[in-house]
Structure 1
Amino acid sequence: MTPPLALDIDGTLTRPHGDGVDPRVFEVLPEWDAPVVLTTGKAFPYPVSLCHFLGIPERAVAENGGVVLVDDQLTYTGDRERARSAVEEYKSRGGALGWGAADTVNRWRETEVAVHVDGDETLLREVAADHGLEVYDTGYAYHVKTPGVSKGDGLTTAAEVLGLDVREFVAIGDSENDVTTFEVVGTSYAVSNADERAKESADTVLDDAHMDGTLAALADLEGGQAVLDRVESTER
């Protein structure tokens, strides 16, 4: 039986060097014969939009677990106002968000605030701690967020809505924020470009990076190779 998937986006469904979603995502995920939940640190609209363009049900754990959407059931667990307050203090003390005037990274973010990895990490962590918040380093940004909010808890909520045991899920990811997901699922894979915490927590570390690694993991799964073969035969 093909298992449900919990898939990170950046570094996992993307091409190398962070230059966008790998087009093979559009071939494989719509054909997957089980629920797919996108689990990401990105702002809520991003995974919802990706689901929309993939033509799959809108199932997302966004903002590191701060927002969960599954089958029209929406759950919030993060406190964005506290995060905003901390980041305002960070800026007043000389820190910068680093995204430019439009700041599309945070414009639609609902439960946390993200700071560019070139920002002052020491200052940011100090200010966040003063506000009772934590900072996640995903390799792409520093996320200022409510303690205890995680992708793993978000996926557990998603599984409950779907009527599934979260241990039925297979997770694939690349970053520190995927560790809590790896801890709650039955099977986990880290792509080869993953950070050390993700690699240490995963059941399997793949030889391939980015989408190549994700496809290798999918081929490993029961029913997975059949899905990939079906996609390849359609292309021919």
Structure 2
Amino acid sequence: MATADDPPLILDIDGTLTRPDGWGIDPRIFDPIREWDAPVVIATGKAFPYPVALCHFAGVPEFVVAENGGVVYTGDDVYFTADRDAAQAVAEAYRAAGYELGWGEEDTVNRWRETEIAINLEQPIEPLREIAADYGLDVIDTGYAYHVKDADPNKGDGVEVIADHVGFDLENAVAVGDSINDVSSFAVAGRSFAVSNADPDAKAAADEVLEEPHADGTLAVLDRVRERHE
């Protein structure tokens, strides 16, 4: 059982809370998150509704950084730190050049995005980077998609907004992630962990690289932290 001394958590989703094969939330994470006696911030590259739904189904307050920092939800207020217009223009130019976003006609990956556009990893990245640069935007490879985004917002900035609003000390926080977009979260947290399937940037930035991948690694960290505070 978690205790009142539990540190705040900053958790990525894809690659971090997912099953060993990397797809779908590992259901074992729900109970530890729900029982955690400190704020749990979900910081992800996914579109805004996805982490909100995860918090809802886990039964925890909706402290969310979505779209790589483009959207921040403190549980009371929503902050948009970028807009989608430029990213949408990149997507249209990419299509005009003969490429596809790669998600099919309905494109549920981007349907509810507010501040960026995601491209399937099977699509060519170099022309995407060239087009994005013309619009002053970045392209980051999270291992699950190419994200066309404003250069400024990041997860770490969003986490700081939530910490200020909720009133917890990030020096006591524990962050777990797997990708380059988690580096900024690692930078603001007191302690950071990269799961073993993490990319080189996340591994280099983390305080510790775990032996276990995906949710196995995250669950191992939560168990370790809980034992330390019992």
User: TM-score normalized by structure 2?
Assistant: 0.95
Distance in 2 separating the partners of 1:162 and 1:225: 22
Give percent identity, aligned residues only.
57
Distance in 1 separating the partners of 2:225 and 2:209: 15
1:20-169 alignment to 2 at 5 Å? 20-169=24-173
Report the residue type matching 1:75 in the other structure: Y
Report how many residues are paired: 226
Distance in 1 separating the partners of 2:106 and 2:145: 17
Per-residue deviation, residues 162-216 of structure 1 (Å, max 9, x unmatched): 1123222110000010011111111000000101110000001000011110011
Q: Contact 1:174/1:190 (CA < 8 Å) preserved in 2? A: yes
Cα shift at 1:223 = 5.3
Q: Contact 2:20/2:216 (CA < 8 Å) preserved in 1? A: no
Report the residue type matching 2:222 in the other structure: L
User: TM-score normalized by structure 1?
Assistant: 0.93
2:20 pairs with 8, 16, 25, which one? Answer: 16
Report the residue type matching 1:213 in the other structure: G
Q: Which runs of 5+ in 2 are unaligned?
A: none
Q: Contact 1:219/1:225 (CA < 8 Å) preserved in 2? A: no
Change over 3 Å in CA distance of 1:170–1:78 after alignment to 2: same
* Corresponding residue SS for 1:56: coil
Change over 3 Å in CA distance of 1:224–1:41 after alignment to 2: farther
- Structure 1 runs (4+) deviating above 3 angstroms are 222-226
Q: Contact 1:2/1:223 (CA < 8 Å) preserved in 2? A: no
Distance in 2 separating the partners of 1:91 and 1:17: 31
Asked if 1:187 is matched to 2:209, the reply is no
Cα shift at 1:26 = 1.6
Distance in 2 separating the partners of 1:71 and 1:27: 21
* Corresponding residue SS for 2:79: strand
Q: Which runs of 5+ in 1 are unaligned?
A: 227-236
Distance in 1 separating the partners of 2:68 and 2:112: 14
RMSD of Structure 2 on Structure 1 (CA) = 1.2
